[in-house]
Structure 1
Amino acid sequence: MASVEVSLKEMMTGIEGALGAAVVDYTSGMALGTLGGGGDLDLTVAAAGNTDVIRAKVRTMEQLGLRSEIEDILITLAGQYHLIRLVGGRSGHGLFLYLVLDKGRSNLAMARHQLRRVEEQLEV
């Protein structure tokens, strides 16, 4: 099992093209930890904003009667991928991993695979 700090390091060093990473509590919108970012990428602001994205999607799924769990949410920008992965399991309920990737230097399929692995090892 990995701590928040170890998980953040794994996301930033183990996923090619990573620009910033965060572990976020979406019940409060607070980042439990961040790594990378800077300049135009304020991970604290992104954590709070993406909390709203998750809440809206969960609410919509409830209204539609969908009984499935969200695995991840992808937001594609001109030069970046923003990947949000909800953390499953008892210790991760209410948390998500947030990863920003350089679109030109990353492999989205591999990043999703590696982010799933980080999620499985996270212990809060």
Structure 2
Amino acid sequence: MDIETALKSAMEIDGAIGAALVDYDSGMALGTMGGGRHLDLEVAAAGNTEVVRAKMRTMASLDLGDEIEDVLITLGRQYHLIRLLNSAHGSSLFLYLALDRGRANLAMARHELRRVESQLTV
């Protein structure tokens, strides 16, 4: 599936507020869907790029020899899920999904985002 279709699929996840495909080398969103007045996805893409870069530096410093699957940021009213794409999709990309905590099932959201990743072609 292409980027637009992938983002549409991500937005069908229960509780989805916004979704983006982001290149963490540049911090730029390759595509966005949803968001709005209370969630600027361009700002979220840039900010979450810093989160991913920091975690990757930390893992390198710890010499863990492992890969990040996803990063979860839990807010009072939202979940922010960052799913790094495996190297077959491009080593510097992640899917970002913001969820309304009151309407989302976190386990199902992670499962569905993994499915979207597996079908995405970039």
User: TM-score normalised to the size of structure 1?
Assistant: 0.96
Superimposed CA distance per residue, residues 19-74 of structure 1 (whole angstroms, 9 cap, x where no aligned partner): 00000000100000000001110000000000000000000000001111000000
1:6 corresponds to 2:2:
no
Q: What is residue 76 of structure 1 aligned with on the other side?
A: 74
Q: What is residue 91 of structure 1 aligned with on the other side?
A: 89
Contact persistence 1:92–1:123 (CA under 8 A): no
Q: CA-atom RMSD, angstroms?
A: 0.6
> Counterpart of 1:68 in 2: which secondary structure?
coil
Aligned pairs for 1:53-72 within 5 A: 53-72=51-70
> Counterpart of 2:26 in 1: which secondary structure?
coil
> Counterpart of 2:19 in 1: which secondary structure?
strand
Contact persistence 1:18–1:100 (CA under 8 A): yes
The residue type paired with residue 28 of structure 1 is S
Cα drift, residue 89 of structure 1: 3.0
Structure 1: any 5+ residue segments left out of the alignment?
Answer: none
Contact persistence 1:12–1:19 (CA under 8 A): yes
Structure 2: any 5+ residue segments left out of the alignment?
Answer: none
1:27 corresponds to 2:22:
no
Cα drift, residue 119 of structure 1: 0.6
Q: What is residue 106 of structure 2 aligned with on the other side?
A: 108
Rounded Cα–Cα distance in structure 1 between residues aligned with 2:2 and 2:91: 15
Rounded Cα–Cα distance in structure 2 between residues aligned with 1:115 and 1:10: 9
How many corresponding residue pairs? 122
